[in-house]
Amino acid sequence: MSEKPRLLCLSDSEDQQDCLPEMIYESFDIVRQSCANEALCRFQEGGYVGLYISSDHLDGIQRLVELLQHDCVLEGMPDGVALLDEDNIIIWGNKRLKQWTVIENAAAANFYSALGSPEILGPDFCPFHTALASRKDSSSTLRTSDNLYLHVHAAPLMEGQFSFRHLIVTIRDVTADVLQRQKLEAIHKAGIELADLTAKEVFDMEIDERVELLKSNILHYTKDLLNFNVAEIRLLDEKTNKLESLLSIGLDGEAVNRKLQAKPQANGVTGFVAATGKSYLCEDTAEDPLYLEGLKGARSSLTVPLIFHDLVIGTFNVESPEARAFSESDLQFLELFSRDVAVALNTLELLVAQKANAVQENVEAIHSAVAKPVDIILNNAVNVMEKFIGYEHELREMLQEILKSAREVKQTIQKVGQQMTPAEAVPASLQLPKHPLLKNCRVLVADGDDVVRDAAHGLLEKHGCVVETAHTGDEAIHMVRHTANEEAYDVILADVRLSDMSGHELYLELKKLLEHVPLILMSGFGYDPEHSVVKAHQAGLSTNAVLFKPFRLDALLETVENRLKSTTPLSQT
């Protein structure tokens, strides 16, 4: 005996005899539903010859018609759509939802089970319960076992004046957005870690070691995080406008050694980016006249500027053997990472400058502490030699050896300081102005004021001068008399009013010893009661050999340099 065909009956009546004629029961197998939404879903599943709507659901006819009309629209939506009951059971779902489910027939299955029990990431960890309980929309993000991120939005469906028994749930695939956000966060974290060194690491590591560590970190994140296997970073030399290669991976040796400048023409994409400060996406190298080959057979490239404080400090270039290999997302990622690279490079430069500055300060402090005792040794030695002129030759040689050794102590300190703080370790912005004439220039300063003598040591020795001092005119004369030819003074600075003689008198005494007297007289503004400067000029002193106290550094350096230019190499008479 064949089974009776099934008829779906939408009715609230508990007594089916009250809603259907007897002949209906004889001919059909009746399946009753009290909810219009569930009745529609069951009817669409198939297996029913018809749908009977009782009089108590006449107001639902229009709703069913509307649902049937919208069904085709929902099926074609790019987002998943599902109708759930209060137990999270799927009553109906569109095609998009079924593509994500792990159950062949997801109807009548638990929503979460149908999706393979995904991890609920929040912000609402019970979105369906929240929506039914609060009668307000709720949302959350799910992560499936195959690393698919789905954003679910649940809206309660009102079925009467106060009844909420069903949910309309929309599901959107947000995997691309989530992965991009995660990558951006990872890039930012990587950028912070590029030059993140502990105090101990900063202290222990040499400059070259820090540079190599930074380069290693950049290459690591470039390959493992950004997935770029061919890359080059060049730094801009502000003085020469050249783009010097800092690091590269995968590029041909010829390309790495190529001379490039920050110019928009004839210097490839890298030169253009450095000159304009704009990123450049070369989708097909064969069609781009600006491109210069870096990777042999490269078909596309992406180049962004390294910018710090709105200034271009270099470029970051990546290449691929495939045409159109880079997207706008790749451009965004590389620009973000490049900003962190620029900050890391600046941080490294500051660390190097800080360490170099600290070494310079320590060396200067040692030199300052040694300068006075050495000067005292020199002064005492020449004074003793003056008293014993004509006496034992052996004693004279011993004193000469003391003079030589004392001077070598100072020179050794200077050389060690220069080796500990090489010029290339200090950023150009922090380096002292170059004064090549002053390098190894020997200067004698004669002044009774300790402050003046100390200032001469501190200011002139920073620029490479070798400074010795005397307290009186006689002491200055002794220093000159007992200085060997190779250690003769290039410049002599003397106060116009020493305790034992005037500047004019000193000049006359020095003329007895030297063929050319490289004297500079120091005077307070307008204070020269004995007219030493005028008398010295009349005796042959150069007119530009005057320095007013208190002197500024620039005035001191300029006066000394001018004196050097106007004086021929000295020889002792």
Length of the chain in residues, anyone?
Answer: 573
Q: What tokens does 515 get?
A: 């063929």
Establish whether the linkage from the previous residue to 550 is cis, with ω within 30° of 0: yes
Tell me how far apart the alpha carbons of residues 171 and 83 are, in angstroms, rounded to a whole number: 11
Residue 67: what pLDDT?
Answer: 53
| Residues near 47 by beta carbon (within 8 Å), at least 6 away in sequence | 6
Q: What would the pLDDT profile of 339-380 be if each residue is shown by its tens digit?
A: 888 887 776 665 455 455 555 655 666 666 677 787 887 788
Tell me how far apart the alpha carbons of residues 190 and 200 are, in angstroms, rounded to a whole number: 21
For CA atoms 88, 94, 100, 105, give the dihedral sign.
positive
Tell me how far apart the alpha carbons of residues 549 and 527 are, in angstroms, rounded to a whole number: 10
Tell me how far apart the alpha carbons of residues 108 and 90 are, in angstroms, rounded to a whole number: 5
Q: Are 11 and 54 in contact (CB under 8 A)?
A: yes
Tell me how far apart the alpha carbons of residues 398 and 100 are, in angstroms, rounded to a whole number: 98
Residue 278 has pLDDT above 90, yes or no: yes
Confidence tier at 573 by pLDDT (50, 70, 90)? very low
**Three-state DSSP class for residue 34:** coil
The arithmetic mean of pLDDT across residues 500-510, rounded, is 91
More confident residue, 516 or 411: 516
Q: Which of 567, 402, 387 is nearest to 488 (CA)?
A: 567
Helices 393-420 and 328-387 pack at an angle, to 10 degrees, of: 170
Q: How far is CA 68 from the centre of its chain?
A: 59
Q: Which of 382, 406, 571, 368 is nearest to 472 (CA)?
A: 382
Q: Are 351 and 359 in contact (CB under 8 A)?
A: no
Domain 76-173 has CATH 3.40.605.10: no
Q: Are 502 and 454 in contact (CB under 8 A)?
A: no
Q: What tokens does 173 get?
A: 């695939």
Confidence tier at 572 by pLDDT (50, 70, 90)? very low
Confidence tier at 272 by pLDDT (50, 70, 90)? very high
DSSP calls for 161-203: SS-EEEEEEEEEE-HHHHHHHHHHHHHHHHHHHTT---HHHHH
Mapped to the 3 state alphabet, what secondary structure does 427-441 carry? Answer: CHHHCCCCCHHHCCC
Q: What would the pLDDT profile of 535-547 be if each residue is shown by its tens digit?
A: 888 888 887 788 8
Predicted structure pTM score: 0.47
Q: Which of 138, 141, 136 is nearest to 122 (CA)?
A: 141
Among 13-17, 449-453, 532-536, the range with the most confident prediction by mean pLDDT is: 449-453
Residue 570: what pLDDT?
Answer: 40
The arithmetic mean of pLDDT across residues 203-228, rounded, is 72
Distances in Å between the alpha carbon of 388 and those of 382, 391, 492?
A: 10, 5, 25
Q: What would the pLDDT profile of 380-426 be if each residue is shown by its tens digit?
A: 878 877 776 666 667 777 777 777 777 777 677 666 655 555 554 44
Confidence tier at 243 by pLDDT (50, 70, 90)? very high
Write out the CATH class of domain 181-353: alpha beta
To which residue do tokens 């307000």 refer?
136
| Domain covering 432-566 in this structure, CATH number | 3.40.50.2300
Residue 444 has pLDDT above 70, yes or no: yes
DSSP calls for 342-372: HHHHHHHHHHHHHHHHHHHHHHHHHHHHHHH
Establish whether the linkage from the previous residue to 427 is cis, with ω within 30° of 0: no
Among 43-52, 175-184, 558-567, the range with the most confident prediction by mean pLDDT is: 558-567
Q: Are 12 and 57 in contact (CB under 8 A)?
A: yes
Residue 540: what pLDDT?
Answer: 83
The arithmetic mean of pLDDT across residues 32-59, rounded, is 64
